[in-house]
């Protein structure tokens, strides 16, 4: 770990959150489970119709212009510390492209002079680095799952210009690392029917243990909890303003919130595309989330109605009025969960696009990076990372 201070900040910010272990598990599972690249996503999930086959065909056609050998080696030098566990370095399992087997290797010991690409974990870099390519075809990969609010280097063009490939939570990434890093079983679990209206507690479940997040969620929730005469009380199970008895810290968050009509899903920081597992856990559990996050959250949702968007309500009072309205109107409440029963093609197209980029049919992001690097060896291309992507920056203020 090159930058111990950054590690400390990360650990402070993230180990405190209950969702972290789930997220680590997803990473490990995604590595183990390989879904065969056939059939549309809808078919893989056992749902009718939907796009997918056309894209798959296109991917196949695209590959014909490359003349890969039956086995190809791709070596990616790991240049910084990271938080991704012992399975990160070494040969990535079962990485292929078309009929070619890729020996996709990551490691700190890989010689930077000959490596096909050098990989950097941006939160471990402290925003400063002198980076020189060792050979003309070498690529620089910058990776981050942490938000630009916590790591402003992500918003700094002078810093980000070094990278050829961005691998972050941003949709403009060449290889995104979404928190929606779900495989088929996990995507299918999102559509698990919720408990009935009557069965669920008329209360707002709140599980938060990072009480100083930049988004101000703890301050908002403190006010919500303190309001008088509530029809929808808050049950706080985390370290912030806890009002529920917790004897054993190993409770399963998704199982807990399944029993509630409403649950809090507020990000630790608010920046375009930064949507974490909190939202997906709530949607899976079938509680209606009170969400605080980026302006473009709608692009990620299966249905724009699936959340109660705190930024649109704007105050604890307006939130309470909305919660009471839904608690007293079963039909209006159930409309917020109607997406769970829709056909695949009736879900929002941008949600479907995100699913295509998840692990339903894509391999682990580390294998995806090896594929991009291998293609570049045969057909060099100029990549455009997020801050230089004019489509993406249209609604994103880039400072310099």
Ligand X SMILES: *[C@@H]1O[C@H](CO)[C@@H](O)[C@H](O)[C@H]1NC(C)=O
Spatial distance between the Cα atoms of 357 and 363, rounded to a whole number of angstroms: 9
| 204: three-class secondary structure by DSSP | strand
CB of 176 to ligand X, least distance (A): 10
Footprint (CB under 6 A) of ligand X, residues 62-121: 93-94
d(CA 257, CA 97): 40
Q: How far apart are the first and last CA of the chain?
A: 29
Beta carbon of residue 182, minimum distance to ligand X (angstroms, whole number): 16
Minimum CB distance to ligand X smaller for 247 or for 394: 394
**351 part of the interface to ligand X, by CB under 6 A:** no
Which one-letter DSSP state was computed for residue 236? Answer: E
Residue from 22, 29, 34, 75 binding ligand X (CB under 6 A)? 34
User: How far is it, in rounded angstroms, from Cα 331 to Cα 311?
Assistant: 24
Question: How many residues bind ligand X, per CB under 6 A?
Answer: 12
Of the pair 156, 384, the CB lying nearest ligand X is at: 384
Contact window for ligand X (CB under 6 A) among 235-243, 339-347, 364-372, 389-397: 389-397
* Smallest separation, CB 382 to ligand X (Å): 4
- Contact status, residue 123 vs residue 6, Cβ threshold 8 Å: yes
Contact between 391 and ligand X by CB under 6 A: the answer reads: yes
Close Cβ partners of 125 (under 8 Å, ≥ 6 residues apart): 2, 3, 6, 80, 153
Residue 370 Ramachandran class (φ > 0 left, ψ -120 to 50 alpha, else beta) = alpha
What SS3 class is residue 33? coil
Beta bridge partners of 263: 205, 289
Q: Which residues contact 396 (CB under 8 A, 6 or more apart)?
A: 272
Nearer to ligand X, 99 or 391 (CB): 391
Which of 255, 381, 397, 400 is in the footprint of ligand X by CB under 6 A? Answer: 381
Q: Which is nearer to ligand X, 129 or 384 (CB)?
A: 384
Nearer residue to ligand X within complex by CB, 284 or 299: 299
d(CA 309, CA 272): 15
Residues 131-190, interacting with ligand X (CB under 6 A): 171-172
Q: Of the two residues 99 and 382, which places its CB atom closer to ligand X in the complex?
A: 382
Residue 171 or 362 having the CB closest to ligand X:
171
How crowded is the C-beta side of 134, counted as CA atoms within 13 Å? 11
In the complex, least distance from residue 94 CB atom to ligand X, rounded to whole angstroms? 4
**Interface stretch with ligand X, choices 83-91, 108-116, 157-165, 376-384 (CB under 6 A):** 376-384
Nearest distance in Å: CB 270, ligand X: 18
64 or 390: whose CB is closer to ligand X? 390
Check binding of 350 to ligand X (CB under 6 A): no
CA distance 275 to 23: 13
What's the Cα-to-Cα distance from 227 to each of 60, 224, 396, rounded to whole Å?
58, 5, 35
Question: Which of the stretches 58-66, 293-301, 335-343, 384-392 binds ligand X when contact is defined by CB under 6 A?
Answer: 384-392
Q: Does 296 bind ligand X (CB under 6 A)?
A: no
- Spacing of C-alpha 191 from chain mean position: 18
Residue 391 Cβ, how far from ligand X at the closest point, in Å? 4
The nearest distance, CB 389 to ligand X, in angstroms, is: 4
Select 172 or 225, whichever has its Cβ closest to ligand X: 172
What are the structure tokens assigned to 148, written together? 């630009």
Q: Which two tokens stand for residue 354?
A: 């995100």
> Using an 8 Å Cβ cutoff, are 268 and 13 in contact?
yes
User: In terms of CB distance, is 36 or 399 closer to ligand X?
Assistant: 36
Q: In angstroms, rounded to a whole number, what is the distance separating the alpha carbons of residues 378 and 46?
A: 37
Is 384 a binding residue for ligand X by CB under 6 A? The answer is yes
Among 11, 21, 32, 223, binds ligand X (CB under 6 A): 32
Task: Kindly list the residues in this chain that would bind ligand X in the complex (CB under 6 A).
Answer: 32, 34, 93-94, 171-172, 381-382, 384, 389, 391-392
């Amino acid at each position: 770990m090159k930058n111990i201070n950054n590690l400390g900040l990360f650990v402070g910010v993230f180990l405190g959150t209950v969702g972290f272990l789930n997220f680590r598990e997803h990473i490990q599972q995604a590595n183990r489970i390989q879904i065969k690249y056939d059939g549309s996503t809808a078919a893989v999930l056992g749902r009718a119709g939907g796009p997918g086959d056309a894209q798959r065909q296109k991917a196949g056609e695209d590959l014909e212009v490359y003349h890969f050998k039956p086995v190809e080696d791709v070596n990616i030098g790991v240049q910084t510390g990271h938080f991704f566990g012992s399975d990160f370095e070494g040969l990535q399992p079962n990485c292929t492209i078309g009929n070619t087997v890729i020996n996709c290797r990551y490691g700190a010991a890989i010689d930077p002079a000959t490596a096909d690409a050098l990989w950097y974990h941006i939160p471990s870099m402290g925003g400063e680095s002198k980076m020189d390519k060792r050979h003309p075809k070498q690529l620089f990969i910058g990776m981050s799952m942490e938000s630009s609010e916590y790591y402003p280097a992500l918003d700094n063009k002078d810093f980000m210009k070094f990278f050829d490939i961005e691998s972050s939570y941003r949709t403009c990434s060449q290889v995104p690392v979404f928190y929606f890093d779900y495989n088929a079983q996990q995507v299918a679990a999102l559509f698990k029917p919720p408990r009935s209206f009557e069965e669920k507690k008329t209360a707002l479940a709140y599980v938060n243990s990072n009480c100083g997040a930049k988004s101000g969620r703890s301050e908002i929730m403190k006010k919500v909890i303190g309001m008088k005469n509530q029809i929808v009380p808050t049950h706080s199970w985390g370290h912030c303003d806890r009002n529920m008895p917790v004897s054993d810290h190993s409770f399963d968050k998704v199982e807990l919130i399944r029993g509630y009509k409403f649950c809090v899903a507020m990000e630790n920081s608010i920046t375009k595309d930064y949507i974490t597992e909190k939202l997906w856990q709530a949607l899976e559990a079938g509680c209606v989330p009170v969400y605080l996050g980026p302006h473009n959250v709608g692009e990620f949702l299966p249905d724009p109605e699936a959340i109660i968007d705190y930024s649109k309500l704007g105050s604890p009072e307006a939130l309470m009025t909305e919660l009471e309205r839904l608690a007293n109107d079963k039909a209006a409440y159930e409309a917020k969960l109607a997406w769970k029963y829709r056909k695949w093609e009736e879900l929002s197209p941008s949600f479907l696009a995100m699913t295509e980029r998840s692990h339903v049919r894509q391999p682990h992001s580390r294998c995806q990076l090896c594929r991009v690097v291998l293609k570049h060896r045969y057909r060099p291309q100029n990549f455009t990372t997020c801050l230089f992507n004019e489509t993406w920056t249209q609604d994103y203020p880039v400072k310099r």
